[in-house]
Amino acid sequence: MAKDPLAEAGLHFDELNKLRVLDPEVGQKTTELKEECKEFVDKIGQFQKIVGGLIELVDELAKEAETEKMKAIGARNLLKSVAKQREAQQMQLQALIAEKTMQLERQALRCDRYRIEYEALSKVEAEQSEFIDQFILQK
């Protein structure tokens, strides 16, 4: 086959018989590549939007998790302080119970002494009443 002298010079005819510097196949592949590149860039843009939204969502979740973590730490610390306060209060109440028990025991001892003294005085009174009665009868 004879070579086309225009093709050798780098000139070509397209499907509309217009003279072109670029080979029609190369031009078609270039156009296809351009369209594919445009689609690729569009898809990369969509991907970046999706990833950006995902990153925002993850950041929001991280902030919420951090907030909940701080709330949990605060609640735990509050619970510890309440437990310590209850322990201190329990110790105070036990000391108060011990003190009141000692007071009650002292009062019980006093009551016992008063009862014994009362019985002794009642016995003395009965003896004196009997003595007085006998003294009056003898007169």
Record the pTM: 0.47
**Token pair in block for residue 21:** 């510097």
Per-domain residue ranges for the chain?
Answer: 5-128
Q: What is the DSSP letter of 21?
A: S
Q: What is the DSSP letter of 18?
A: -
> What average pLDDT does range 55-70 have in this prediction?
97
| Alpha-carbon dihedral angle through residues 57, 62, 64, 68, given to the nearest 10 degrees | 160
Q: What is the pLDDT of residues 14-59, one digit of tens each?
A: 667 776 766 667 778 888 999 999 999 999 999 999 999 999 999 9
